[in-house]
Amino acid sequence: MTETTHGGAVGVKPPPTPDDRLSPADLAAKYGLSVSGARPSLPEYVRQLWGRRHFILAFSRAKLTAQYSQAKLGQLWQVATPLLNATVYYFIFGLLLGGRNGTPGGHQNYIPFLVTGVFVFTFTQTSVLNGVRAISGNLGLVRALHFPRASLPISISLQQLQQLLYSMIVLVAILVGFGHFPAWSWLLIFPTLACQFLFNTGMALIMARLGSKTPDLAQLMPFILRTWMYGSGVMFPLQPMLRDRAGAQPWLVDLIQANPAAVYMDLMRFSFIDGYTPADLPPHVWALALGWGLLIGVGGFVFFWKSEERYGRG
């Protein structure tokens, strides 16, 4: 023990302790302290998400209900918006630009072809767009509560899946109106939607991490998604357009058809529309659907998890 003086006052300096020679990390280990908000292991993270499954589902339902709460038509806009888009595409691409030509089964199938494509692509498009703001748009929630941050982009994909299922009621009515009645092939929509949901969730997770650090990405994504839509055959059949009109090589046609948006749309059209044959699908279509789902779904989850402790900081 030593004595020191300062301005006439006498102070006593305590003797050194064993902890004085330890680094902050060693001190934390000695007394069992852990970093607040530290990233858990991947298996533990999955267990935490499963424990929050009721919150994820309730959050997605609340977002879906609140989405059109200020509109007089309310939830009808969930179906009206893609239908209005399909109407515009029909007049521009179907009638003015001749996009009906080459529709599998004949041009009388163009409206079911178009509406199916619009609904299916909108499912992916809105998952990606809303995924960009999953973290940056919920900073108050992220900073106030401790929970697995992946809950937010996953709930967004669930929200869009519920919206698509509501839209399916209108789609089925349109299909029946054009003479496409329920058949065994309609059961294929379930594995198709499962693969697409896995893909969309992975995309939402990827965009959530990128958007949390780069808010301007939300302004750029609509342009990227619009280009993706035009290149995926939403408004016109890809094979006749690329092969007959553009003179593209077969390998290029297969490559463009292998993009995930086109794969999921083709499978849904094959399931619903009479006259859509396996020849209208890209090669190895089911392997592509499952492969894209696993690659982006699992890869996006790991990509998001690696930055778990940084969300909401800074």
> Other CB atoms closer than 10 Å to residue 77's CB: what's the count?
16
Assigned domain for 213 exists? yes
Which of 138, 135, 130, 154 has its CA nearest to residue 49? 154
Structure tokens at 5: 């003086």
Would 67 be classed as within a structural domain? no
The pLDDT of residue 198 is: 97
Is residue 63 a part of any domain in this protein?
Answer: no
Which residue in this structure is represented by tokens 């939402």? 204
Number of structural domains the chain divides into: 1
Q: Is 71 exposed, middle or buried (0-12, 13-18, 19+ CB in 10 A)?
A: exposed
CA dist., res. 209 & res. 103, Å (int): 39
Residue 169 in any domain: the answer is yes
- Please give the pLDDT value at position 5: 53
Judge whether 66 lies within some domain: no
Q: What is the model's pLDDT at position 297?
A: 96
3-state helix, strand, coil in the chain (%, to 5): 70, 5, 25
Radius of gyration of the chain (CA): 26
147, 122 in Cβ contact below 8 A? no
Assigned domain for 58 exists: no
> 59 — phi, psi (to 5°)?
-65, -40
- Per-residue pLDDT, 239: 75
What residue type is assigned to position 231 of the chain? G
What is the domain extent for residue 228?
Answer: 76-310
Note the Cα 277 to chain centre separation in Å: 29
Q: What is the pLDDT of residues 114-133, one digit of tens each?
A: 889 999 999 999 999 999 99
Residues in the chain with pLDDT values less than 70 = 1-37, 68-75, 77-78, 240, 243-248, 314
pLDDT at residue number 110: 85
In a domain, 49, yes or no: no
